[in-house]
Amino acid sequence: MRTRELIGLALSMALLCTGCTTSLHGSYVAISYVDDSVGKSMKPMGPVRGESGQTRFLYPFPVGPATFTSEAIAVAKSQCEGTSYIAGNSIDDRRRFEFGYSVQCIIVDAIAY
């Protein structure tokens, strides 16, 4: 009977620790200054999307590099060649749970200029 209680306690602690690892990425947004004379002459090149993701093995254990909003912004900027800046940024945080692992992604949608 003692073994069953210890297993129950261990599972409860694992679930509590898992809850601590499900945090959001924060509210970071890259800001860059664009001179009005340059900004007015720039034409939109189209919508871009950048993602930064991390897999978590058995839900609480990270595998690979952490997610970074700045990395997702850099990926979005690299979608169109010659991008000076991106505007109309929308930053989203998504987590997908699968059997035995989860994937957390930061997604940036914007317009390239």
The pair of structure tokens assigned to 13 is 């602690």
From the CB of residue 56, how many other CB atoms can be counted at a distance below 10 Å? 19
Q: Is the per-residue pLDDT at 26 higher than 60?
A: no
Q: Model's pTM, two decimal places?
A: 0.67
Q: Is the per-residue pLDDT at 49 higher than 90?
A: yes
Longest C-alpha distance within the chain, in Å?
77
Q: Considering the chain, what is the average pLDDT of its residues?
A: 80
pLDDT of residue 42: 78
* Close Cβ partners of 70 (under 8 Å, ≥ 6 residues apart): 28, 30
Domain segments of the chain: what residues? Answer: 24-112
Select the more confidently predicted residue: 62 or 36. Answer: 62
The pair of structure tokens assigned to 39 is 């900004």
From the CB of residue 23, how many other CB atoms can be counted at a distance below 10 Å? 9
pLDDT of residue 13: 72
pLDDT of residue 35: 62
